[in-house]
Structure 1
């Protein structure tokens, strides 16, 4: 939301909150995971879409390991390097096609696309897919993210047209 941020050389993704063990991944460590490729459309809440995008990344369910998440956790709250935040219901966050994306259309993410990593959940509107992500916090009680504080829907399911609260 604040514009393209400076990406520190020692960028890390931190996973914490209601977890049994705090996790930290460097950019290079992400490539140890088996990457999944999905060809899916990107949908903006304002009505436009980009069709047939090849997304490549780590399934979020593999990245966070559900056994590490407390049963009390109901939401994943994501933080971007530019100050942007969003909140995602845990069931959507851990769905089969939800990815931490590191490549688009066969190429590493550009800074404009969210390098070093971004969230993509095909059935949710684009505002739920934070770019430049650096932290995922599992929480029990709902907290508004940036757009949610301005009246956007808590989930944002494309197929149910969940745009506003």
Structure 2
């Protein structure tokens, strides 16, 4: 870590960019549960299902042919580091959801990833302009450790909500907690409110 990086949140030029309790790092720490999944482009697919008008199943080739965009955002990990000005490239989430046609009672989304991992979000976060399914970051393909071939990017929330190795969205009427949310992490995860962990009775 460079000099004064832990004090960066106190710098006037970063006011409003670094949430409480965070420090800025130039590195991108690797944190994940379990082993790295193997990627096979011939069998990989991405699905949007549940409360939708038309379920979507896309092969890897079909998914990568979708229109892409770039997005520069700061990211904030629940373990207290923040990385600024990360440039992601990938497929915007909103058009993908619109392709499936969410039903009116679809209020929540369970994000499904490899090895049974899942995390839950209110649907409005995925309909926002800054929700992205990224395959590149800072001009390079994502490494497997950072989610290759595809990771979700939802920069408004702590970064565990930006699941790696994503395989699909399940649209739901009622909220259902994902892996970390069932294991002591906050259900919402707003970094500006320091919604890191939940009490056992919540």
Could you say which TM-score interval applies, normalised by the shorter chain? Answer: over 0.9
Q: Counting strand residues as a fraction of each chain, which structure ranks higher? A: 1
Deviation at 1:32, TM superposition (A): 2.5
Which residue pairs with 1:114 in the alignment?
Answer: 147
Which residue pairs with 2:36 in the alignment?
Answer: 4
Q: Deviations over 1:113-162 (max 9, x none)?
A: 11111100111111101101112100111111011102222221222322
Greater RCO between the two (CA within 8 Å, min separation 6)? 1
Give the number of equivalent residue pairs.
Answer: 165
CA distance in 2, matches of 1:43, 1:129: 10
Q: Which runs of 4+ in 1 moved over 3 A?
A: none
Question: Are 1:72 and 2:81 matched, yes or no?
Answer: no
Question: Are 1:35 and 2:93 matched, yes or no?
Answer: no
- Pairwise CA RMSD: 1.5
- Normalised by the length of structure 1, the TM-score is 0.93
Structure 2, gaps ≥5 residues long: 1-32
Query: Are the equivalent residues in 2 in contact too, given 1:27–1:116 (CA < 8 A)?
Result: no
Correspondent of 1:133 among 126, 143, 166: 166
Q: Counting helix residues as a fraction of each chain, which structure ranks higher? A: 2
Query: Are the equivalent residues in 1 in contact too, given 2:54–2:100 (CA < 8 A)?
Result: no
Q: Mark the CA change 1:3 to 1:67 in structure 2 (over 3 Å): closer, same or farther.
A: closer
Deviation at 1:33, TM superposition (A): 2.4
Structure number with bigger Rg: 2
Which residue pairs with 1:146 in the alignment?
Answer: 179
Correspondent of 1:100 among 98, 123, 133: 133
Correspondent of 1:23 among 51, 56, 80: 56
CA distance in 2, matches of 1:76, 1:135: 10
Question: Are 1:48 and 2:97 matched, yes or no?
Answer: no
Query: Are the equivalent residues in 2 in contact too, given 1:5–1:81 (CA < 8 A)?
Result: yes
Q: Deviations over 1:40-84 (max 9, x none)?
A: 122101111122211111111011117700111111101111221
Deviation at 1:28, TM superposition (A): 2.0
Stretch of structure 1 that moved more, 123-132 or 50-59:
50-59
CA distance in 2, matches of 1:127, 1:77: 13
